[in-house]
Amino acid sequence: MKKFGLIGYPLSHSFSGKYFQEKFEKEGLTDCSYELFPLETLSDFEKLITSNPDLCGLNVTIPHKIGVMFYLDKIDPAAKAIDAVNCIKIIKQKPVESFFTGELSSTKVRLEGFNTDCYGFENSLKPLLKKHHNKALVLGSGGSSRAVAYALSRLGIDYKIVSRRKARKQITYSDINKNLMSDRLLIINTTPLGLSPAVETYPDIPYEYITSNHLLYDLIYNPDETEFLKRGKEMGATIKNGEEMLHLQAERSWEIWNNG
């Protein structure tokens, strides 16, 4: 049996668990299972690895995307640049027979970390991009914004990160005016504003300056249309939620676990 799973806390509204269980059923992968491991802290992480010898891979969600990096043997360059890991490949190294005693060494486990959020975002955004989407506003300065910023850099898109507080290389919401909205026609929400059940919340930007040339992308997928997206849609903008990004990052995790 090949076991996969998700670590984080809390995990009551996990996308990954439902997604992979449905994938296994649909594709007839009867030798695979996906479990949720709600770890409030990482103090039990090593115990989790050693007590689950069939574990082949893990997804990582908040609050452990940064902290888990301390436990890894190798970190992919993208994950290192983003400073966050959301996918771990668990490699079992075969026991070696001692030349002198003939005894087998214990099975060693190698942990490799990746970030598939940037892959999911980049590949769900690309089909929607037009020539005028060459400058972006990234709303939010948390971990998700770093994955988005990395993907935008790969796509050659200039971006400004918008935060509630003034910081180096960041602007605040009060800095967003008509000129900035006219210049930056790609706007990405990486904040939790609008996430169910707080569906009435939304980022504080001047929506009246949004046009049909704008592309609004929200990493949130529940609800399908956040207030952020609804307001953009009312002004004629193209809108996109984060559901496809999640599907793509999950499939990329599956590829890493099984192929590399």
Would you name the residues annotated as active-site residues? Answer: 65
Coil, helix or strand for 33? strand
- Taking Cα atoms as reference points, which of 184, 194, 256 lies closest to residue 221? 194
Please state, in angstroms and as integers, the Cα–Cα distance from residue 249 to each residue in 191, 197, 255, following that order: 19, 24, 10
E strand spans, the chain: 2-8, 32-38, 55-60, 74-75, 87-93, 108-114, 135-139, 158-163, 170-172, 186-189, 215-218, 238-240
- Taking Cα atoms as reference points, which of 31, 71, 64, 37 lies closest to residue 51? 37
E strand spans, 132-246: 135-139, 158-163, 170-172, 186-189, 215-218, 238-240
Q: How far apart are CA 83 and CA 67, in angstroms?
A: 10
Length in residues, the chain: 260
Q: How far apart are CA 51 and CA 91, in angstroms?
A: 15
